[in-house]
Amino acid sequence: MTRIAYVNGAYLRTGEAGVSIEDRGFQFADGVYEVCEIRHGYIVDLTRHLDRLDRSLSEIRLAPPMSRKALVGIIRQVIRRNHVRNGLFYMQVTRGAARRDHVFPAAHTLPTLVVTAKRTDAALIARKNTDGIRAITVPENRWDRVDIKTVGLLSNVLARQDAKEAGAQEAIYVDTDGKVTEGAATNVWIVDRHGALRTRPADHGILRGITRTTLQDVATKIGLEIEERAFTVEDMLAAREVFITAATSIGFPVVAVDGHTIANGHPGSTAQKIREAFFDVAEKTLI
Among 284, 260, 276, 285, which Cα is nearest to 215's? Answer: 276
How far is Cα 38 from Cα 117, in angstroms, rounded to an integer?
9
- Other CB atoms within 10 Å distance of the CB of residue 217: 14
Q: Measuring CA to CA, how many Å separate 53 from each of 40, 62, 71, 279? A: 24, 11, 11, 22
The residue length of the chain stands at 287
**8 Å CB contact between 25 and 31:** yes
| Residues that are catalytic | 149
Among 196, 188, 197, 192, which Cα is nearest to 239's? Answer: 192
**8 Å CB contact between 88 and 248:** yes
Q: Measuring CA to CA, how many Å separate 65 from each of 15, 60, 74, 85? A: 24, 13, 12, 26
